[in-house]
Amino acid sequence: MTLINQRIHSEFCNCAVEHPSLSQVIQVPMSMLGSSGAVTVLVVVIILLILLLILVFICRKRIKPAFQTKAKPPIEVMEIIAPSKKQQGSMDFFSGSVQEMSHFDSQTLKKATMNFHPDNFLGSGGYGPVYRGKLSDGRLIAVKTLNLNKAQQGEKQFLSEVRLITSIQHKNLVRLLGCCIDGPQRTLVYEYMKNRSLDLIINGHSDQFLDWSTRFQIILGIARGLQYLHEDSHMRIVHRDIKASNILLDDKFHPKIGDFGLARFFPEDDCLSTQIAGTLGYTAPEYATKGELSEKVDIYSFGVLLLEIISCRMNTDFTLPSGMQYLPEYAWKLYEKSMLTDLIDPKLREHGFVEKDVMQAIHVALLCIQSSPNLRPPMSEIVALLTFKIEMVRTPMRPIFLDLRHKVAVADKDKDDDYEN
């Protein structure tokens, strides 16, 4: 023990010579080193110094970010809406990197839309009105306010749904930038699309003419967007409301499907039992009559939309003669008469088009609007057919609605004959 004490005394003296401050920090009388308690005292002092250094290091780590970072949404919000590392790495089908979703406050959106001024009103869908807005950094946005009587989720569930939808990204899907919760109000913020919606062109409310190359670009983009939702996404989504007004066009007329995830915000029971989602003229027969929902519902709607793009007219137009009012019925009659070129937009015929490509697209449309969902091809096959990667081997079958319409017409004629007799 004496040798140990002597060794400690020697080392301490050497350190004191090299570092005079050490003797000032550790106020231990040199006479104590000669006793058995010297070792204990020295060890306790060293441990206290180590603990003090650790405490200072932890305090600096916690205090530093508070001064360097900007104000963020409540931690509960960020935990729910921040994309996980797993989602950030799943980029196989994404058009770009998954960015952290923003949480907008209501005042920011009111300022961006000039307090939702009527001049910024873009339109109104089944889920609520949409307004154009401009953020302080110059970005243009589209602000959709969800109807209060339909959006029934709590805050945590709503944010979880938003986070899920923001993880689904594709170049042909409108990107959801963020959301806002203001009491019971739920608001979604999307990227703004310069050329608005496709229905403005089909309805004749726009002076812009789309050549066949642009129309085919739109058709193929919609098909690929649906293929992603149905087959390639990590979660299967049936849109349920594919129509011209839900196809938005950017500055180069690249199409993006809008409202692709809104169905997730509303209770499924309400949608099926009280009101079938969708739009008249686009709704598949099995869904409209029996509420049977599958990807084939979207495929039927895509077929109707495809006919609209080629003919540049809406699927239902009561200003036309009776045989032309319902577009799918009119298309089938022309198909049976081998007169499908009459279906093509007259302006498109004037400017020229590739007949082989247009005829292929019409045949694909006829396959999509088959009465039986089992006869409609999946979106991956539709994309392959449109791009001529596979041959057209299917022959469209006569739809049931034509036979029913014929039976009704015959019955009405028989009644008139009986009445006259």
| 105-144 per-position pLDDT tens digit | 999 999 999 999 999 998 876 678 999 999 999 999 999 9
> pLDDT value at position 103?
86
Domain range 76-191, CATH architecture: 2-Layer Sandwich (3.30)
Overall fold of domain 199-408: Transferase(Phosphotransferase); domain 1 (1.10.510)
> Between helices 355-368 and 212-227, what is the axis angle to 10°?
30
What's the whole-number mean pLDDT along residues 225-246?
Answer: 92
- Out of 105, 119, 211, 241, the active site residue is 241
196 CB-near residues (< 8 Å, 6+ apart):
122, 248, 249
Q: Is the pLDDT of residue 391 over 50?
A: yes
Is 241 catalytic? The answer is: yes
pTM of the complete model: 0.70
Kindly indicate the confidence band of residue 273, based on its pLDDT and cuts at 50, 70 and 90.
very low
Q: pLDDT tens for residues 145-204?
A: 886 655 556 677 778 778 878 888 899 999 989 899 887 788 999 999 999 999 999 887
Cα 112 to Cα 108, 141, 249, 280, 313, distances in angstroms: 6, 8, 22, 34, 35
CA 261 to chain centre: 6
**What does the domain layout of the chain look like in residue ranges?**
2-68, 76-191, 199-408
